[in-house]
Structure 1
Amino acid sequence: MSSPVNYHWRIAGFYFFYYAFVGMFSPYWSLYLHSLQFDAIDIAILMSLHPVMRMVAPNVWGWLADRSGKRREVVVLAAGLSALFYLGVFATTRFWGLFSVLLLMSFFWSASMPLVEATTLSWLGKNTAHYGRLRSWGSIGFIVSVVGLGYAFDYIAIAWLLWAGLVCEVGIFIFARQIPPTEVLAHHTDQQPIKQIVLQPRVLALFGACFLMAVAHGPYYTFFSIYLVEHGYAKSMVGGLWALGVICEIGVFFLMPALVRRYGFVRILYLSFAAAVLRFFLIGWAVDRVLLLLLAQVLHALTFGAYHAASVGLVHEFFRGRHQSRGQALFGSLTYGAGGVLGGLASGPIWQHWGAAALYSFSSVMALLGLMLLVWRLRGSIPGAQ
């Protein structure tokens, strides 16, 4: 008799390579573009294509997955086409060439994660609080990528970044073929139009606050590496600072089951947004004070790790049954996608005309507005809160 397939390492492998790609792209792609002599506006536009596609693509692919009932096959198709179009980065260094390549690659790359998130949570069943432990493998992939490349680029040309991205794309495709097929369980909300769920005040508040959190992070993902290099930090130190945040994030992921049981998703989100207000203020005004910059990176454990696990968990609670794939897709599109686009595009002019301190103060204000929205609309979701 054949033993049951253990999908834990297969899902973990997908997360590892997917976020290893993020660890390659977010800290270093702007440095690669900078090496090609693009100005701040061009870099902001090219870096924003990724979140633009995260805004558009997941809804298309989520609809296709729910319509066809073949979630895994859709993930495999998207991963394969993403790897294929990525090859275009080897063929051009011109603005419009890279614009076209990144647009197409990102359209397919962005499709996978919301579907895999839905698959993972469905596979976990009643153990969704353990999501963070699986997701931590993505953080490990990010660390391997960001630290390894950071040290490498002190000795080799930044153009080698393109090959690191190709390795990640191939890994994503291989493990996309290994994720489990999951059955969508019937739920009493299945006959409701998804619009009816989205328009609930608590859902709108969550999406709105998370949109603002993504706006706040736009300048971080677009200019943080350039900002550090311009202040005299070596590329290995840049990689180390990125990795420090993700190491702390892994710790939070492993603590999430206990934290969720004790505090619930909403209180965790309150803390995450408050930490983001402080973190971006420190980045903007204390970049030359290493201890404060280290503190800012440690806060990544809350501003991404705890924030991401809690927000995804709430989306899973709000969208049930056949709406799960599209719920996660809508969340990714309207928050990480639209919010990332606005934050990324706004960062170029603010950086160019008012400087880094103003840019990261803008991020801090966006996080504060998100916190205020959560407190206003989700307070009643906390047991005993009035």
Structure 2
Amino acid sequence: MLHSPNSLVPPGPPAFFAWRVALLFCAPLMVNGISLLYLPALLRDLGMTDVEIGIIVSLPFLLRMIGMPIGTALADRVSDRAIVLIWSAAVSLATALVLFFARSFWPLVLFYSVQSLFYAPFVPIVESLLVSGVRRWGFDYGFLRMWGSIAFVVSTLLGGVLLEFYGGAMVLPAMAGFFALTTLVAIAAPRLGREKPRERLGALGDVRGDNPFWRLDFLLVISGAALVQGSHGLLFGFATIYWTAQGISGVEISFLWTSAVIAEIVLFFISGRYLARFQQLHLVLAGCLVSVVRWGLFPHVDSFWSYLALQATHAFTFAIIHVGIQRFLMERIGDERGASAQGFYQFFVSVFTVATSWASGFIFQAYGVQGFYIMAIIAAAGVACVVAAMLLQPQSARSGG
């Protein structure tokens, strides 16, 4: 089913809205399934050092701090958000083709930076389209967001098989192909136009004239979730390299990444029915707490099956936090600023992720797998932020927020 069973869905969504939005998640997450997980293998094949790999894999997160707020703010101002999606995908495809000719550090840095800058607002704008569909017509957020994760699994499995046969050489052709698909689905994106600002007593700050993005409790929630997302930097940068050194095959590595996303898919699938009863900050806090445990245990496991079990906790360290944050943004921010809200949150995710990704080369070089203890400390800071935000809401103790 495409709609929440308890929703009253008014007429009016664009034709095939649900599936068009689902495809908008699928294509870019297939790109991410290759670039995020397997680009380090290509860089290693090209002779990059650990520090150089850390720098290059941090570029998307660094450039998001510029590209996301600009792109998402622009999307809220143009006649339709799909316009920015098309430009984002088309320029990303062009740079993916240029990367075929970059084989040394500085050319890679240059062209990958351009791609990262223009690609940055794509997924946050798609998130805003989906949230608009949830708010206006009652679509099930978790069910539609789940398809992007399924696509990520497909590309991850495909990437693992290709890595086994072709090594890092498979990365650029796969990225270019999926960027071409991303451009096609952007052209087919549903057009929602711009919603006029409304008085929304539930969105704090909108009717009072102050900026809700800069309220202390809002900032603490966003920062706490973003710190935990940033704590994944060492995993994404060096897990494939570490597992390979441990004797785990390329196909097994693809299953390790896949197990995390399958757990994420299950969480998204059940979120509409089983998580609605929980207050959104409790969901975020639960994910933050599990993150501390996940990174603390990582140096102590040493087999494929134990890594597989640990990867399944991604349902909490990413998915449950993501559902909680989307519910939080939907409650606090109006539809007319939906893309900007997504960009604001992702800006903070990028700040913390680029810091950990940039440092991950030095951390892994100095401490190896023991560096995950540092990630646990970062996740603990996220826990502290969310708890502080909950304490700043005097109604939370009495009425659940």
TM-score under structure 1 length normalisation: 0.93
SS at match of 1:303: helix
Q: Is the 8 A contact 1:184 1:321 kept in 2?
A: yes
Q: Distance in 1 between matches of 2:327 and 2:35?
A: 26
Q: Write the deviation string for residues 7-51 of structure 1: whole angstroms up to 9, x where unpaired.
A: 211111121111111110111000110111100110000000011
Q: Which amino acid aligns with 1:210?
A: A
Query: Which residue does 2:331 correspond to in 1?
Result: 317
Q: What is the Cα deviation at residue 185 of structure 1?
A: 4.4
- Asked if residue 52 in structure 1 is aligned to residue 67 in structure 2, the reply is no
**CA 1:329–1:32 in 2, change beyond 3 Å: closer, same or farther?**
same
Q: Which amino acid aligns with 2:355?
A: L
Q: Distance in 2 between matches of 1:331 and 1:123?
A: 19
For structure 1, the residue ranges without an aligned partner over 5 or more in a row are none
- Asked if residue 186 in structure 1 is aligned to residue 197 in structure 2, the reply is yes
Q: Is the 8 A contact 2:195 2:336 kept in 1?
A: yes
SS at match of 1:263: coil
Which range moved further: 80-89 or 288-297? 288-297
Q: Is the 8 A contact 1:72 1:179 kept in 2?
A: yes
Query: Which residue does 2:390 correspond to in 1?
Result: 378
Q: Which amino acid aligns with 1:204?
A: L
Q: Distance in 2 between matches of 1:197 and 1:124?
A: 21
User: Residue 353 of structure 1 is aligned with which of 348, 366, 369?
Assistant: 366
Q: What is the Cα deviation at residue 148 of structure 1?
A: 1.4
**CA 1:72–1:192 in 2, change beyond 3 Å: closer, same or farther?**
farther
**CA 1:25–1:4 in 2, change beyond 3 Å: closer, same or farther?**
closer
Query: Which residue does 2:5 correspond to in 1?
Result: none
Q: Is the 8 A contact 1:316 1:328 kept in 2?
A: no
- Asked if residue 236 in structure 1 is aligned to residue 251 in structure 2, the reply is yes
After TM superposition, where is structure 1 displaced by more than 4 Å over at least 4 residues in a row? 126-129, 189-193
Matches within 5 A, 1:291-330: 291-330=305-344
Q: Which amino acid aligns with 2:354?
A: V
Q: Distance in 2 between matches of 1:4 and 1:101?
A: 36
TM-score under structure 2 length normalisation: 0.90
Q: Is the 8 A contact 1:315 1:331 kept in 2?
A: no
**CA 1:73–1:361 in 2, change beyond 3 Å: closer, same or farther?**
same
**CA 1:249–1:321 in 2, change beyond 3 Å: closer, same or farther?**
closer
Alignment root-mean-square deviation, CA: 1.9
Query: Which residue does 1:333 correspond to in 2?
Result: 347
Q: What is the Cα deviation at residue 285 of structure 1?
A: 2.4
Q: What is the Cα deviation at residue 341 of structure 1?
A: 0.4
Query: Which residue does 2:377 correspond to in 1?
Result: 365
Q: Distance in 1 between matches of 2:14 and 2:76?
A: 26
Q: What is the Cα deviation at residue 284 of structure 1?
A: 2.4
Q: Distance in 1 between matches of 2:269 and 2:217?
A: 27
User: Residue 344 of structure 1 is aligned with which of 328, 353, 357?
Assistant: 357
Query: Which residue does 2:291 correspond to in 1?
Result: 276
Q: Percent identity?
A: 24
Q: Distance in 2 between matches of 1:16 and 1:321?
A: 23
Which range moved further: 223-232 or 253-262? 253-262
Which range moved further: 165-174 or 178-187? 178-187
Q: Is the 8 A contact 2:248 2:304 kept in 1?
A: no
Q: What is the Cα deviation at residue 190 of structure 1?
A: 5.2
Query: Which residue does 2:7 correspond to in 1?
Result: none
Matches within 5 A, 1:1-386: 5-125=15-135, 130-182=140-192, 183-188=194-199, 196-286=211-301, 288-335=302-349, 337-357=350-370, 359-379=371-391, 380=393, 381=396, 384=399
Q: What is the Cα deviation at residue 382 of structure 1?
A: 6.2
Q: Is the 8 A contact 2:292 2:380 kept in 1?
A: yes
Q: Distance in 2 between matches of 1:178 and 1:202?
A: 38
Q: Which amino acid aligns with 2:76?
A: D
Q: Distance in 2 between matches of 1:68 and 1:290?
A: 49
Q: Distance in 2 between matches of 1:318 and 1:327?
A: 10
Q: Distance in 2 between matches of 1:174 and 1:264?
A: 38
Q: What is the Cα deviation at residue 326 of structure 1?
A: 0.9
Q: Is the 8 A contact 1:222 1:344 kept in 2?
A: yes
